[in-house]
Structure 1
Amino acid sequence: MTLREFGRSITNTVYRQVGRANGHLQSNRSLPVDVLESDTAYLVVFDAPGTDPDDIEVRYLSGSVKIRIERYREFRDRYDVRFPGRGLQLEGEADLPADAVVDPDAGAARLTEHGTLRIEIPKDETLAEDDETDTERAVADHDHAAHAESIEPGEVTVDD
């Protein structure tokens, strides 16, 4: 083995280790998220570049929007992966305000061509109009019923 080959071998090993560490860090860190509110809905925005709609699972669980992304790395002809730094399994979570009353069944998730995942969850106007006692009971019932509401993979649409 020549000195040049030895140096190249060390460089490749360092790149692989740094890339693995970076990918591991991404996989264990929650995705950045913004939560916005209008008069009629909440909008939860995640950055998910390099993702296809079929790779995304969106769930609403007890006042929290949770996503899981399983990305795939494309293979390129005549190229080797030198620095595999992108996490392939990513997760994110966003809590809605404690007083949020929403209808997760009417929620919709859209992925833009630039990799921004936008999840819109309408406010539940029927519960907001009830008196306080009925609202507390309805929120508890609705929260229990919505505990496992989800937008399954393939139900995420793509905006052009």
Structure 2
Amino acid sequence: MTGVTEYGRSAVNAVLSRVGRGMGHVQERKPLPYDLLESEEEYLIVFDAPGVKTEDIQVKFVETTLEVRIDRFRDFYDGFEMRFPGRGLSLTGSVELPEDASVTKTDANAAATLTRSGTLQVKIPKTMNTKTVAVEEEPDEDEE
């Protein structure tokens, strides 16, 4: 009976591994969804980015397009093996910006913030073409 149990466990592990990789590939093929909001002075683009760290995110402007890449990796835990891989993934998204939001290399008013609630918020003034933006963590409420 032990051989049958081990065979069954091995088959389940193989299925879980394929399902995890498959789900990761499905997520990676979909563009990263976003919301584009506008005020009188600026635009705000909000991406969902749960479980990422600032070093996992790349934000850059290429002419009139905002490009975002998230390479989300999961920590390893001592004493545990990965049974269901699929939580680490690469996501990309791009937003064609409105005509009045052109970014210049010298404009320091564009900003990207990773919030504690797991969103990436990119603010772009309405008077701003290729620029990389540093992503900062939202300060703790105690620091404000």
From the two aligned structures, give the one with the greater helix fraction: 1
Q: Pick the structure with greater CA Rg.
A: 1
TM-score, normalised via structure 1 length: 0.77
* Aligned twin of 1:4: 5
Aligned equivalents of 2:81, 2:40: Cα separation in 1: 50
From the two aligned structures, give the one with the greater strand fraction: 2
Q: Shift in Å at residue 71 of structure 1?
A: 1.9
1:2-151 alignment, distance < 5 Å: 2-97=3-98, 99-103=99-103, 105=107, 106-124=109-127, 146=129, 148-151=130-133
Runs of 4+ in 1 over 4 A off after TM superposition: none
- CA deviations on 1:21-54 (whole Å, 9 max, x unpaired) are 1111222221111110110000010111111111
Gaps of 5+ in 2: none
Q: Shift in Å at residue 87 of structure 1?
A: 4.2
Aligned equivalents of 1:114, 1:15: Cα separation in 2: 29
Equivalent of residue 158 in structure 1, options 130, 137, 140? 137
Q: For 2:67, what is the secondary structure of its paired residue? A: strand
Gaps of 5+ in 1: 125-141
Number of aligned residue pairs: give it: 135
Aligned equivalents of 1:86, 1:23: Cα separation in 2: 7
% same residue: 44
Aligned equivalents of 2:5, 2:63: Cα separation in 1: 58
Aligned equivalents of 2:124, 2:116: Cα separation in 1: 21
- CA deviations on 1:55-112 (whole Å, 9 max, x unpaired) are 2110112222111112222001222222222242211111223x33344522000001
For the aligned residue pairs, the C-alpha RMSD in angstroms reads 1.7
Aligned equivalents of 1:87, 1:78: Cα separation in 2: 19
Change (3 A) 1:87 1:25: farther
Do 2:52 and 2:72's aligned partners in 1 also have CA atoms closer than 8 Å? Answer: yes
Aligned equivalents of 1:103, 1:59: Cα separation in 2: 10
Q: For 1:2, what is the secondary structure of its paired residue? A: helix
Change (3 A) 1:35 1:42: same
Aligned equivalents of 2:111, 2:132: Cα separation in 1: 10
